[in-house]
Structure 1
Amino acid sequence: MERYQLQKIVEDISSTFFGKPFKHQALFNSKLRTTGGRYLLNSHNIELNYKYFEEHGIEELIAIIKHELCHYHLHIEGKGYQHKDRDFKVLLKQVGGSRFCTPLQNVKGKRTATFHLYECTNCKTLYKRRRRVDTTRYVCGKCGGKLNKADN
C-alpha cells in the first residue's frame, strides 16, 4: 500500500465515521514495533505500523485508524483524548474502533525471560532467580546450607 492510498483511506474513514475532515498526514512508520499506531500531539499526524496491515489485513488497519482518529478529533476539539477519558471511550464505541490491537506473531527485540535455578545442598530447596547469584556469598534462607547451580 502506498502512502497516498493510506492518506485516502484515513480521509474517507474520517469523513464517513466522524463527519469531519482529516487535514493532516497519515503515514507508515517502520520503527513502530509493538503498537498499531500513534497520534502525534504536536504535528497532529497519525503514524501506523505497516506490519499490522501485512499480518492481519485491512480490517485490523481500519480499526487502528479509527482508534487514532478518535485521539485526533478529540484533541483538536479540546476534549478528553486520552485512553482514560470518558469522551474517548464513548467516541471509540460509537465509531466501532478497537481499544487494543491484536498482537503480532513475531515481534523482533522481545526477549524471553531466562531463569537461573539454584539448589541447597542440605535441604534440597530450589530457588528460581532472574539474575545470577554469587554462590560463594549467598546461602540457603531456610537452613544456611551451600547453594549450587541446578540443572534446568
Structure 2
Amino acid sequence: MALLTDRELHELVDSLSRQHFHKPFQDQVQFNFRLRTTGGRYIPVKRVIELNPKYAAEMAGDEFIGIIKHELCHYHLHIEGKGYKHGDADFKKLLKQTGSPRHCTPLPSQPEYKYLYRCKDCGQEYRRMRRVNTGRYRCGKCRGRLMKAEGE
C-alpha cells in the first residue's frame, strides 16, 4: 500500500468508522514517523489518532485497516465516556464486535532478536534484544550458568 496523503488518510479512517461503528470520525488522524514498536496510538487529550507509516508501506492492507479499527475502538469509547483502555471490558467487547485485532503483528523489517543465550546445563534458549551479563544472571528453569550461543 502506498503512503496516503493526509486527506486520503482521513477519508479512509472516516469511511471505516462509518462502516464498522456507524459513526463519523470528526477529529484528526496523522502518520507519526517516530513510532517504532506499535502500529498506532490514540491520544485522548488531543483526540488524535497517530498511525505508523511503516505498517502502511510494509504490511498488507488488511493489517493496516485492522490497526485503524483498533484505534477507532479507543476513539469512539473515549468520546462516549466508556472504558477505552486495553484492560476495560467495554474495549474488549467492541474489539470483538468490530473484528478488530487486539495486537498488531511485528513488522518484517524489525529484527526478532539480536542476542541468543543458552543454558549450559539444560540447554534452555533465551533470545534478547539487549546484552545480558552472564556472570550475574542464571537460567530461570534450572539455575544453570548462561553462555552466549554461536551463530548470532
TM-score, structure 2 normalization: 0.73
| Greater than 3 Å deviation, 4+ residue runs | 113-118, 149-152
1:112 aligns with 2:114: yes
Identity, % of aligned positions = 48
- Structure 2: any 5+ residue segments left out of the alignment? 121-130, 136-146
CA distance in 1 between counterparts of 2:48 and 2:149 reads: 52
Closer, same or farther: CA 59–151 of 1 in aligned 2, 3 Å: closer
Deviation at 1:112, TM superposition (A): 2.0
Residue-pair matches, total: 128
Q: Is the 8 A contact 1:71 1:88 kept in 2?
A: yes
With 14-23 and 67-76 compared, the bigger mean Cα shift is at 14-23
Partner SS for 1:47: strand
CA distance in 1 between counterparts of 2:117 and 2:101 reads: 35
CA distance in 1 between counterparts of 2:88 and 2:32 reads: 26
Amino acid at match of 1:113: Y
Note the aligned Cα RMSD (angstroms). 2.8
Q: Is the 8 A contact 1:117 1:151 kept in 2?
A: no
CA distance in 1 between counterparts of 2:91 and 2:115 reads: 35
Q: Is the 8 A contact 2:55 2:64 kept in 1?
A: yes
Which residue number corresponds to residue 13 of structure 2?
10
- Structure 1: any 5+ residue segments left out of the alignment? 119-128, 134-148
Q: Which has the larger radius of gyration?
A: 1
Paired residues for 1:3-152 under 5 Å: 3-107=6-110, 112-113=114-115, 130-131=132-133, 133=135
Closer, same or farther: CA 56–151 of 1 in aligned 2, 3 Å: closer
